[in-house]
Structure 1
């Protein structure tokens, strides 16, 4: 232990020390909890096995001494909220460790759905294994590791009978990976919890806090051509070839413009401090034979905004650029189909929640955490949009999420759990 760390730890109160000791003494239980969560498949789509996960989580939290309720989305509106690929009921689990009835209140939140298993896994992705200090399993990083740590932090506080001024909530919700109308936003809008502060347990790295995230504009570019027999291409307009020219123009002319813009904020990773545009996550065309000139080509786009960019201006810039290409080529006909968008978000790095969580990390590690903006997006923004002071902090190895071999570092789990518990103590006591 460094001198700095030793000095910080001397500042812990006896209550804080007892809660932290409980976590350390129950590291094996924490590891087992995460393994149990991973072993219940929750791939989304389709999302058809959510009830088993929610039943297990609710039972575990009740046994830990918390008040628990399970909320289901309204049956009559469920069909309208879900995409065709999704199936089954949507549930949220809310647990509460009651305070004396005052404020503030704190919500620890995370999603329980994962992406479907894909790639070449060397193990069963739903049969977690620990190898060389790493726990492998689908969702270990994104984000059942964060859920397990939050649940154990709440249990530690309940076991030690810590007197809290405000209520501590744990909330887990579905449909983050493949969004629907029955995810976190739905349950917040239907009054499942009202909190003053929220910590979303997505992976940030245990020595880093995400105080914000990039914004985004998502949609498709659709190029229309003229279909003819493949032996007579000179009589048609090849939509695929026109799309190639559109993509080439974007790379040659729009990419450099975006690269010139630099954010004043620190990013994680650091290369993310520029706006970006990604093409081709989804590509489709006319379902015709090989001997047909295609009359349609669709390519998705993912435009990420730094906090300094305005959402409306960024959308107008993209639309104007694409429409300008039409004017340059009389045979080019395209449309822009916007699917969703979200502004960039940053909270002040000196606000109460950031200071409390930073102090907890510093007291446990002896070093101040970095405070960065994430390149990706999290449900944290849904809390901020509703007036809740919220940030993102959780264990995990960011680069391995959504991939075969997903894992988390065993040693980080107890650390993150103690950070959650210590932050809750300092916000609520």
Structure 2
């Protein structure tokens, strides 16, 4: 079959498969895999595993050992953490292309017009928590491969699919993608390429994400009766003064640091720091002796963790010297920025595939971190992109949805990416 004929057959196959793909996505959404704490994980993995088994995959479920759950899933309350790994059998030598998505979703929250776990189809949209982020990505990756097979392309021995938990609760290590990399399921010695189907939209190609520091700062003051505050050291008031210091000193400098690559969402192009929670005090007639703040620092690609850490610590040290307050600084999560080169084989093929459907490809990084960090920093695989049908702006909102049109378009693009990569023999040097 000619290249033109194969391409046409793939696109036709996606169209034929699209009603079933939408049905599968709706069933995915109806399983409320809410994290934290991690509900209905086994049910989802069982459903998706049966689906892939019926499509001819060799299916394996890798569960985090119970004794490691407190370490890798600290927000899970001991609930199981199953990872689904499915391989298309074949005797082709060389590395595989690994397609990955996470199946956990954030809590639904309030103000929904649609049932957050109803998988409702209305006006060309599938509604529900996870519809955009990222159960549509999981449906997309399954049916992109099916379109290749239906079009007659032999992909046996080269395709691996995985669905993992706990992306939404991040972590320096975690029970999902981090666990698979740690176990060697994804490794540079036998994986040529990785595509993570997070929501970047049909024209978006993810080359990385911002770095991050999540931190708790606890200020320790001195208690006193509320009628004689001068006898105490008010931790809440001093914490507020420190927040003001950061607003005046550090945030203006961060606003001058801009990513050289486009960011999704576009408004997040600069380095940022946000104080997000505050806890302090016990009663209105007692001077509080402690106050805990948490902040979320996001690094643009040219920044480094150690330098960002030192910026905040130097401000803290100077503030403590001026006020006499003691503090404790504890990071709960930290990652360097991720950025892959634009000349990686997957990037080249993805740009061509997007253009072939009349869209202009957008090379982006994400404002939030994702599982790409485990692949690039942990497994050492730079040939890794993020590409999925959902749109970032629709993630985590009330009435989250994905356009069926976007789902179908992205599945066509993903199928063409896989076809172009395999037909061009990308990765053969690695396999050799």
Alignment TM-score, normalising by the size of structure 2: 0.91
Could you tell me which runs of 5 or more consecutive residues in structure 2 were left unpaired when the two chains were aligned: 424-432
Corresponding residue to 2:362 among 356, 361, 370: 370
Task: Look up the match of 1:306.
Answer: 300
CA distance in 1, matches of 2:9, 2:393: 34
Quote the offset at 1:376 in angstroms: 1.3
Task: Look up the match of 2:384.
Answer: 390
Matches within 5 A, 1:112-151: 112-151=103-142
Most deviating of 32-41 and 343-352? 343-352
Most deviating of 105-114 and 160-169? 160-169
CA distance in 1, matches of 2:118, 2:267: 35
Task: Look up the match of 2:199.
Answer: 203
Task: Look up the match of 1:258.
Answer: 254
CA distance in 1, matches of 2:81, 2:233: 46
Q: CA RMSD in A?
A: 1.8
- Mark the CA change 1:84 to 1:394 in structure 2 (over 3 Å): closer, same or farther: closer
Quote the offset at 1:239 in angstroms: 1.0
Most deviating of 160-169 and 408-417? 160-169
How many residue pairs end up in the alignment? 415
Quote the offset at 1:342 in angstroms: 0.7
**C-alpha contact 2:100 2:161 (8 A) present in aligned 1:** yes
CA distance in 1, matches of 2:284, 2:258: 45
Task: Look up the match of 1:296.
Answer: 290
CA distance in 2, matches of 1:306, 1:394: 22
Corresponding residue to 2:279 among 278, 281, 284: 284
CA distance in 2, matches of 1:12, 1:352: 19
Could you tell me which runs of 5 or more consecutive residues in structure 1 were left unpaired when the two chains were aligned: 1-10
CA distance in 2, matches of 1:329, 1:91: 49
SS at match of 2:158: strand
- Mark the CA change 1:267 to 1:327 in structure 2 (over 3 Å): closer, same or farther: same
Task: Look up the match of 1:227.
Answer: 223
CA distance in 1, matches of 2:138, 2:76: 26
SS at match of 2:225: coil
Deviations 1:365-420 (A, max 9, x none): x2330112221111012111212221111111322322211111110001111111
**C-alpha contact 1:47 1:87 (8 A) present in aligned 2:** no
Quote the offset at 1:343 in angstroms: 0.7
Task: Look up the match of 1:335.
Answer: 328
CA distance in 2, matches of 1:193, 1:263: 29
Say yes or no: does 1:357 pair with 2:350: yes
**C-alpha contact 2:60 2:85 (8 A) present in aligned 1:** yes
**C-alpha contact 1:23 1:414 (8 A) present in aligned 2:** yes
Corresponding residue to 1:53 among 26, 44, 47: 44
